[in-house]
Amino acid sequence: MYPYPFTYHRPGTIDETLALLADLGDEGKVLAGGHSLLPAMKLRLAQPGHLIDIGGLDELTGVREREGGLEIGALTTHHTLATDPTVAARAGLLAELAHVVGDQQVRNRGTLGGALAHNDPAADYPAGVLALDAEIVAVGPNGERTIPAGEFFTAFLTTALDPGELLVAVRIPDLPANTGYRYEKLANPASGYALVGVAAVVQLDDNGSIAQARIGITGASDVAWRAEGVEAALAGVQPDGESVKAAAAGVVDGVEMLADVHAPAEYRARVTRNLVRRAVLKAAERAKG
Amino acid sequence: MSDPETITMTVNGEQRTAAVEPRTLLVHLLRDEFDLTGTHTGCETGQCGACTVHLNGQAVKSCMVLAVQAAGQEVSTIEGVAPKGTLHPVQDAFWTNHGLQCGYCTPGVIMSTLSLLKERPDPSDEEIRHALEGNICRCTGYQSIVAAVKDAAGRLARGEEPQPIR
């Protein structure tokens, strides 16, 4: 299998990239690691007339320490996120999540920016950046802007990025004291995609009960979401098995579960409830330690 | 719409040049133009890993990389793992541990193994299995593959060198 023919561009700067995006409009697609775009093109589900390969834009690589958090370049690979000591220290949830994206070969090519911009319903990062309350940094013809993760994933394979915009970085705020995290995933054994993936960030108060929980869920529906109902139900709760299970019981209420060749809707619902319980319990345990 | 481009890359230490369409996949360039048929196409959807090669020292699925993305880069294939007529310790370990049957997935498994052992010279069984998730084998059930990788790790640690094929 191979893609439909296209014209290949390899810009040397962000400005060149933006100019190409403006020029080509709908006919131009950005190529980073290519591990979401190329599979789609080989199946001819996507047939862009032009590919804009941003692989040479070194300014989009790098993990930068800042006051209050990290700024991670869009071209940072999953492998880098999974192994970089700074990411492990200051954005451990992202490192834990990146470690289980796809497989070794996919992690060597796939990028944070590409995964977020593509917004596959079974991608792992959306759950993680939602639970971390991250900000996505984009540049476009009108300059730079930041988009909160909660506003970024708008619909199936759709994000808040404007057509001429390029995702350039992600900002991850440091976690406050007494906070633990966990990414729980049930992966498809062949593709490595998330049948369901749950990212939980849990902060405990001095009594050991949950002061605040943030829960991002992917894979279960056609777009990742924050389980705000469960977060509210967990406030003030002691993180024991029964209490967390009870709080998680309604997690998929009002959310349409995906039903496909991999699993029926009821299975995804059940797995989601279980993974939410596990993720919250593990995150709470880590918050103590 | 997609005029051929002439690209150059280093393949197994040698400079190679070819005219490719932008849509030409790296695996097809390697197999069809450069006659390096040790790299295999399996699922063509980026799951099975039979197409695994090294790009700048990292294991990648060559059916999911455009040839033009590898222009100016370093590519290593199974053919380049050891000098012609010899077996690399990893290859020999797969042979002696029966880590293959039909052999179709094997070049890909070996490329992923080399990449793993470079980063983790003494991996646990779990780390081996995690590193090989992107290589699907229909024949072995993986147990003998894990044994082969463990044996290979030991051999590399002892400084074993490629040996003539016997």
Q: Say how many C-beta atoms besides its own lie within 10 A of residue A20's C-beta.
A: 18
According to the model, what pLDDT value does residue A190 have? Answer: 84
Instruction: Please state the domain extents for chain B.
Output: 5-79, 86-159
Query: pLDDT tens digit string along A3-37?
Result: 999 999 999 999 999 999 999 999 999 999 999 99
Structure tokens at A2: 């191979």
B73 touches chain A (CB under 8 A): no
How would DSSP label each residue in A86-145? Answer: HHHHH-HHHHHHHTTSS-HHHHHH-BHHHHHHHT-TT-SHHHHHHHTT-EEEEEETTEEE
Instruction: Please state the domain extents for chain A.
Output: 7-53, 58-173, 179-288
Third-level CATH fold of A179-288:
Enolase-like; domain 1 (3.30.390)
Q: Which residues of chain B are within 8 Å of residue A38 when distances are taken between CB atoms?
A: 46, 64-66
Q: Which residues of chain A are within 8 Å of residue B31 when distances are taken between CB atoms?
A: none
Length of chain B: 166
pLDDT band at residue B2, thresholds of 50, 70 and 90?
low
CATH number 3.30.43.10 is the correct assignment for the domain at A7-53 = yes
How many Å apart are CA A134 and CA B66, to the nearest integer? 32
Is A116 within 8 Å of A136 (Cβ atoms)? yes
How many Å apart are CA B90 and CA B128, to the nearest integer? 14
Mean pLDDT of chain A: 97
Q: Which CATH superfamily is domain B86-159 in?
A: [2Fe-2S]-binding domain (1.10.150.120)
pLDDT band at residue B113, thresholds of 50, 70 and 90?
very high
The 3-class SS string of A136-188 reads EEEEECCEEEEEEHHHHEEECCEECCCCCCEEEEEEEECCCCCEEEEEEEEEC
B5-79 has which CATH code?
Answer: 3.10.20.30
According to the model, what pLDDT value does residue A189 have? Answer: 86
For B50, the closest chain A residue by CA position comes to A105
Is A175 within 8 Å of A88 (Cβ atoms)? no
How many Å apart are CA B29 and CA B48, to the nearest integer? 19
Q: Angle A265-288/A241-248 helices, nearest 10 degrees?
A: 140
What is the assigned CATH class of domain A58-173? alpha beta
pLDDT band at residue B119, thresholds of 50, 70 and 90?
very high
Work out how many CB contacts closer than 8 A connect A with B.
Answer: 91
Residue B1 pLDDT > 50, yes or no? no
- For the four alpha carbons of B128, B133, B135 and B137, in that order, the dihedral sign comes to positive
Query: pLDDT tens digit string along B25-63?
Result: 999 999 999 999 999 999 999 999 999 999 999 999 999
Residue B75 pLDDT > 70, yes or no? yes
Is A150 within 8 Å of A159 (Cβ atoms)? no
How many Å apart are CA A195 and CA A192, to the nearest integer? 9
Amino acid at site A13: T
According to the model, what pLDDT value does residue A162 have? Answer: 96
Interface predicted TM-score (ipTM) of this complex, two decimals: 0.96
Say if the Cβ atoms of A55 and B69 lie within 8 Å. yes
Q: Which residues of chain A are within 8 Å of residue B20 when distances are taken between CB atoms?
A: none
Closest residue to A39, CB basis, from B28, B46, B131: B46
Inter-CA distances, A80 with A284, B100, B109, Å: 27, 31, 22
- Which string of b and e fits A247-264 if b means at least 16 CB within 10 Å? bbeebbeebebbeeebbe
For the whole model, what pTM was predicted?
Answer: 0.96
Kind plus residue range of the DSSP H or E element containing B20: strand B14-20
Q: Which of B21, B23, B48, B127 to mutate to test the interface with A (most CBs of A within 10 A)?
A: B23
With a cut of 70, which residues of chain A have pLDDT below it?
none
Inter-CA distances, B127 with A108, A185, A252, B133, Å: 16, 17, 34, 10
Question: How close are the terminal C-alpha atoms of chain B, in Å?
Answer: 51
How many Å apart are CA B111 and CA B105, to the nearest integer? 10
